[in-house]
Structure 1
Amino acid sequence: MSATAKKTAPLPADIIARKGETPLVCLTAYTTPIARLTDPYCDIVLVGDSVGMVLHGMESTLGVTMEMMVMHGAAVRRGLAKAMMVIDMPFGSYEEGPQQAFRNAARLMRETGAAAVKLEGGVEMAETIRFLTARSIPVMAHIGLTPQAINTLGGYKVQGRGQDRARVLEDAHAVARAGAFSVVLEKVPAALADEITAELPIPTIGIGASAGCDGQILVVDDMLGLFTAFKPKFAKRYGTLGQAADAAIAAYAEEVRARAFPAPEHVFGDAVPETKA
């Protein structure tokens, strides 16, 4: 490929082929401007249902709707050129059964341009994953801590410790056998994440898991320091944009109240510029 050739977004088969190679770089995005910023650096950009908490002030992801995912998905797609876009299926859009999941997954892909969908759950979702992949809908699985199930999991707790270890391991193998092209491991012990990564034929993508996973993902507003309501242990902050925005807004407010803004260079005079004949 020449230096000027346009790089195309990877497909699920390309992601599988990256198993054991250079780790996959993944971030969430919810808007066109953020998508444009992530695109040059990411292999996968996820339109996460975390948008409900990050942008809409919800206490959990449970209130996120299909309409919200379609709107944010379409916005993100307009900002991507080289990264693969995956979109979350929101709570209540797939749990009823494979047919419901297919209708909603097809809609998300059709109306947003996403290359794949992500859904939460392990053994109990294997049949649905198999149904979707057999009908040309690539699926990224998500096991361990599954935020849509916090009411049954008892909160945002680490999953896979003690007797629960076998369940998470079984979930991992179930989604791989069902045809998922990758699996997110959220908030599971590092040793378990390493074991799953070694045993599965598909890439693992960690979030609060292990550096040994085949890729990593973070919520972009967490890593940029834009979302400051709380900070998960696994969310390293690579920037302090929230603090910078606070300082900028404070300076703007001060100048407005002092009538220092707008300054002469920001306003218009009465004179009409001369035009050449």
Structure 2
Amino acid sequence: MTTAFDDHERSRWAGRAAAYQRSFAALCAQPAASLLDAAGVVAGTRVLDAGTGTGTVAALACARGATVIAVDAEPSMVAAARRRVPAAEEVRQAALPHLPFPDDHVDAAVANFVLNHVGDPAAALAELRRVVRAPGRIAVTIWPYPQPPLQRLWGQVFDAAGVERPAVMPRLDADKDFPRTAEGVSGLLTGVGLADVRCETLSWVHRTDPEDWWSGPVNGIGALGLLMENQPPDAVARIRAQYDRLTADFRADGGLLALPTAALLASAAVR
């Protein structure tokens, strides 16, 4: 059973694989190798990439010689991942927490920035645990809170432009949310019966073209896109002016933005 938050997320990503690939895909790709390492993915590992997006993690797993099964809730993402990862055993549409696989189907599972897009993160993890056979591992990434500079930037842009937030933004039900901290995500993994829980912070500087970074919200990606698409043209112009002003401090050689960011990488064993 999906939640209202799940339904909202489906609507935000519908048909937006190309927009995601241009804007945020490179950011989300940064932890891919570390994610696979944490899940113990090597040649011969049968791995599930849940929420594959345009197939970044799945492609890297295939390059390691793993047997890859990839799923995503959004049809345009599935189509993009199929094109990108023809060596995968299977790429199909499916969404956590309901996977169309039997128990003990894979040796490992990964979910790269997926828990922040599901209405019941604990149920999603429990479903990953169900399909991973012992002694396998599960690894996930999430964005942390307090937010690093990259994630704070858009809020600062909207505030400087005088954009009013909707009175009610889609959120997880309170009983399904968790602190976006190392302790919070570790507790989530422990709570669904996983063992040997580990969590680390990955920090890096994301380099991107300013127009590509602007294109994400302009093309409706995520909560930022929801805010952007509800603005009249004059407000969008103000947002753009503040975007140019506030990103000036992050301009690097060649005109790229250099945005400091971080993610939490958590992993655990199925026993």
Same fold (TM over 0.5): no
Q: Quick one: higher RCO (CA 8 Å, sep 6+), 1 or 2?
A: 2
Kindly indicate which of the two structures has a greater share of residues assigned to strand.
Answer: 2
**Which structure has the highest helix share of the two?**
2
TM-score, reference length from structure 2: 0.30
- Per the normalisation by structure 1, the TM-score is 0.29
